[in-house]
Amino acid sequence: MHSIHKKSSLHRLSGVALLLIAAGAVAQPIYRNVDKNGKVTFSDRAPTASTEPAPAPQAGIVPPANAGLPYELRQVAQRYPVTLYSSEECAPCGTARSLLVTRGIPFEERTVKSSQDVEALQRLSNQTSLPLLTIGSQQLKGYSDAEWSQYLDAAGYPKSNSLPAGYRNPPARPLVALQPAPAAREPVQPAAAPQPPAPAPSGPSPSNPAGIKF
């Protein structure tokens, strides 16, 4: 009886040990490692201090304006980009903008406010009247619903709005970019004139008892 009880006790101890080993294997942590190229791997080894982190996305990088457009519309917008030149006190400019928005035309708007803007507009179109619409290299001077629609159709733009939900055209910008004002410079103080060296003693002195001159 004693030997049977001893064997059963050994069996129970062996089973407990196996359960502990299995539990330890299940509880072993799994580490997620990301290399410098952004590749993700899983391992039971903790990442070392020498592991290089994945590169962070660079700040200041803006995705292209046409990135969220359907493929066909994006191709047309890249081939024949549309730009509306407008000003605040221009009723036809508002009507022209409404046509582009209602039809779902992705466009950029440049505003004419300053004298530099007016000069740039005159160099661009040989006139200063607004609105002005450019479709690729084609210029349409003055608003005309029929003419603008005809040229947009010929460029390949869809006649009905096919923009994805939430798409927004970039905000209007001045025709001439504003230059930051130069910083005020502090006046430069003139350098002090160098003092002439003190004349050497002409006669004998305690440091030059012979009175030698150079």
CATH number at residue 168: 3.40.30.10
Q: Is residue 158 part of a domain?
A: yes
pLDDT at 175: 95
Cα–Cα distance between 50 and 209 in angstroms, integer?
74
Q: Which ranges in 2-128 belong to alpha helices (H)?
A: 2-27, 71-79, 91-103, 115-125
Its domain, for residue 98, covers 71-174
pLDDT at 68: 80
pLDDT at 72: 93
Tell how far CA 122 is from the center of its chain. 31
Q: Is residue 120 part of a domain?
A: yes
Q: Is residue 208 part of a domain?
A: no
Q: Number of structural domains, the chain?
A: 1
pLDDT at 177: 86
SS3 56: coil
pLDDT at 186: 63
pLDDT along the chain (214 residues), means of 10: 48 47 50 61 58 44 65 95 95 96 96 96 95 96 96 96 91 86 63 57 59 50
pLDDT at 181: 58
SS3 135: strand
Q: Which ranges in 42-172 belong to alpha helices (H)?
A: 71-79, 91-103, 115-125, 145-155
Q: Is residue 16 part of a domain?
A: no
Q: Is residue 138 part of a domain?
A: yes
SS3 147: helix
pLDDT at 42: 62
Q: Is residue 76 part of a domain?
A: yes
Q: Note the pTM of the prediction, 2 decimals.
A: 0.56
Q: Is residue 201 part of a domain?
A: no
Q: Is residue 135 part of a domain?
A: yes
